[in-house]
Amino acid sequence: MIFDPRLIRLIMELRTAGVSDTAVLSAIERVPRDMFVPESMSDRAYENSALPIGFGQYISAPLVVGQMVQLLPRDEKLKILEIGTGSGYQTAILSDLYRRVYTIEIERELLDAAQRRWEKLEITNIVTRHADGQKGWGEQAPFDAMIVSVAFDDAPDQLLAHLRVGGFMIIPIGNDEKNQVITKITKTNGGFNAQPYYPVQYMPWAQTAGLPNRAVI
């Protein structure tokens, strides 16, 4: 396989910045990010930056994707729920790591576009839903792990209710864009344990005007 030199530089940058999970890095190598950005921005596809994809939404920076995904358990049999499909880039990376991925997107046109990209890449293990991601996916619950692409003051109760005991949620916590942290929340028999990891900037839920999946970085 011949790699784009831009991709090689990106992978090296992610390693230097702390994305150390080799499975995650390999998935990022295999998913062509240029397919998930507007054609007018294809020359920037392998920059470590967020890029606009329409509807006020952005494809997240590869570093943020790598940081969040590597916090998930490495077990391909886990049942994974993604809140905020967006371009479908992170979903495609998850699909490389897990047997089946469930994803919710509130913008129908974004979801349809993501599905067309997956079809071109012959990805067949993604199950989609057009809905408000904050409400979760009760019919498919419980989930072993969730990854949320919008910031909240606190993790939504309805999403937490759809986690199994022992399950994980990776979510940006904080309503101030300058004071957010990617947080891993574990559901226990007695409640929830939260562990902060990386500083991040996502559009807070309160600012999305009803569109909960607008990642900005």
Q: Is 42 a catalytic residue?
A: no
pLDDT digits (tens, 9 = 90+) for 31-52: 999 999 999 999 999 999 999 9
pTM of the model: 0.91
**Ramachandran region, residue 55 (left: φ > 0; alpha: ψ -120 to 50; beta: rest):** left
Q: For the domain with range 5-207, which CATH number is right: 3.30.1370.60, 2.60.40.10, 3.40.50.150, 3.20.20.70? A: 3.40.50.150
Mean of per-residue pLDDT scores for the chain: 90
Q: Is the pLDDT of residue 206 over 90?
A: no
**Catalytic pick among 60, 87, 95, 149:** 60
Name the 3-class secondary structure at 131: coil
pLDDT digits (tens, 9 = 90+) for 158-200: 999 999 999 999 999 987 666 799 999 999 999 999 999 988 8
Distance CA 139, CA 5 (A): 43
